[in-house]
Chain A
């Protein structure tokens, strides 16, 4: 039997998720403090895969999962480059993607920033010397920040974004 009151009183969520990572919270509050200096209260990021193995994508999308939930720090991932402040590029830039990468960048309004995420985006990584890649995002776009790693963990990506915020406000 259903008690009508319980429908209102019972929490409408799954089990409460108790988890607190002090390092992450400190990072987040620093990001929140740094952000208004240049970007208003939010940072709009467009993620672009220029030919990675998909692990970096997985770590970037992990930023939105309950463990990190970076939207509470003012970071959001947007669907169009037209709405983006920052282009987060993964991958060594394949020849097949080079044109699309350039067009995505051109579609962004200025001022705009480019962050290379992962070893392959930073300098070609394991694909260095292949006929099929340019060998790093800086071969085709002006890169403002590099976040190395194979792949970098979500926290390392956040640290890189914080460094970008600091650099932008200088």
Chain B
């Protein structure tokens, strides 16, 4: 297999023309990102060639009325492992509403295509899975919220949703499903009954309610039949304080023979909400994608806007952003280390990690006023500077932190019963990493040193790179070790960042817009800088893609601005891709090990469901 690395964007482009035998139309090119439009035949040839060269499909998204186009435009973002640019193949679907699927060559495309199908109503011919993804059965047929013709707002079906005019057929369905979680389980799938209302006018707000109550289609889970095979449905409501999702296990005796996950119970319509908003309004939405990735997603969004509009970011703001991103990583991963210990019943180890995490939250609050580091980011820098006194406290805090952390980690690693539960459990094979685009600690524990901070440095990471951490086992134990390593590396990074923290403003928008010097960034000037932040993006049209390394891995943000307003905002969190690994990781394991496997992968439901 040809494993040639395309480190340079020009090499990559010349190779594309070689692959396809046509001169590609380059729409837009930056040093690490190129948009190439190909003919339909050229696209199919290129996709096959890219799959052979071990490219991952890291994102696939759609936009309507993109630039001068009238219909739907599809964007396929590809990237090779390691330090490589992102190649975006642009495919015009026009108003055809039918394009060929690439899921055979790129397994990660399956969910992407289902997502586009729900959002825009495009059909992918040759796709092996054409079920709905984020629109459950409660949504009417023919409803595609991301089409421009649909103006965001409550659906007229709402009354039925709330159950006031619920019609019969639900009963039979729920009893079939099983009795876990006191009947609350599987409600999402059972909900089909009343809500699968009649056909609607495509993409318009007029949803026909004439057929409300007609029994809808039930979500078809994979059917596995045979002697001794039985199914265990779990969720969407789980026993603990966790997010909703449905897991359908097929078991033969003890070992899990197949798992199918069904998510998107938390679909809140974030991408649609972003449309028509100004970039500075959208930051709060980005923060609401997933609570424990608030900083990462806010930085991802802001960086995309900055790239699209060419807004410079002052050095100090870049460095402070990096500090906040690393703080987020540390508190997030501490939660994983504690949760994994709890899931094997070892709270003695979990407690010190939880204590440290709470202390982190308190530090966060001192630094930013928010325990989740919210309300700091804005396109062009930070809304406010972090007071010197709070920053100064970090070094002694982390010195004490390290001691407690290491003693707790050593205690965990010296427990034979913990090792026994972790080792060889929930293995994610290395071979899955590229086809499913697995990233973050998950990929690192399976032998792939994938890290956006190293592979596509953004902000301060160009100068402050973390050390690599890799394990080969791919099991829960490897992930435990990788997560601990990540915390150590983050602490080192924070230390270096604090030592070399540049002075200066944290917002440069003013200099761009009005030729004025930004204030010293104290609290009092945050209001005025907020206003000028809007002005520096006003009237600008453009688009850009950013990748950020959130605690869970690579998050993709793509922003398309039209006249200074967000026309399309696409987010793909690491969890979206990583979730698909769990169906493989649990095979051959037993259901009692599922919680610890799930926790070790720790995907965000909110970040996936959007």
Residues of A within 8 A of B (CB): 13-15, 17, 47-62, 65-67, 77, 79-82, 91-92, 94-100, 102-104, 106-107, 126-127, 129-135, 139-140, 150-151, 153
Contact = CB atoms under 8 A, between A and B. Distances in A.
A135 B284 CA distance: 17
Contact of B181 (A15, A53, A80, A91): A80
Contacts of A107: 182-184
A129 B281 CA distance: 15
B265 A97 contact: yes
Nearest to B186: A100
25 contacts: A14-B348, A15-B407, A47-B241, A48-B237, A49-B242, A51-B266, A51-B609, A52-B606, A54-B291, A58-B292, A60-B241, A77-B240, A80-B239, A81-B182, A98-B161, A100-B188, A104-B184, A107-B182, A129-B152, A129-B153, A130-B268, A130-B269, A131-B150, A150-B374, A151-B372
Contacts of B240: 61, 77, 79
Nearest to B182: A107
Contacts of A99: 138, 163, 170, 187-188, 190-191
Contacts, number: 193
Nearest to B191: A99
Most chain A Cβ neighbours within 10 Å, of B162, B289, B290, B404? B162
Nearest to B170: A99
Interface string B383-423: 00000000000000000000010011001000000000000
A139 B411 CA distance: 48
B578 interface: no
B139 interface: yes
Contact of B184 (A52, A66, A103): A103
A129 B273 contact: yes
Given A66-B355, A96-B136, A104 B237 contact: yes
B236 interface: yes
Contact-size category for B: 35 or more
Contacts of B355: 17, 65-67
Given A107-B182, A130-B268, A49 B244 contact: yes
A46 B355 CA distance: 24
Given A52-B606, A134-B158, A65 B358 contact: yes
Interface in B253-301: 264-270, 272-273, 284-285, 287-292, 294
Between B139, B145, B153, B266, the greatest number of chain A beta carbons within 10 A of the residue's beta carbon is seen for B266
Contact of B407 (A14, A98, A103): A14
Nearest to B273: A130
Contacts of A98: 138, 161-163, 191
A5 to B, nearest CB: 21
Contact of B162 (A48, A60, A132, A140): A140
A109 to B, nearest CB: 11
A153 to B, nearest CB: 6
B604 interface: yes
A44 B154 CA distance: 34
A132 B158 contact: no
Given A56-B291, A99-B163, A153-B371, A66 B138 contact: no
Nearest to B604: A54
Interface in B141-171: 145, 150, 152-155, 158, 161-163, 170
Contacts of B239: 79-80
A65 B354 contact: yes
Nearest to A118: B291
A50 B237 CA distance: 9
B335 interface: yes
B199 to A, nearest CB: 18
B572 interface: no
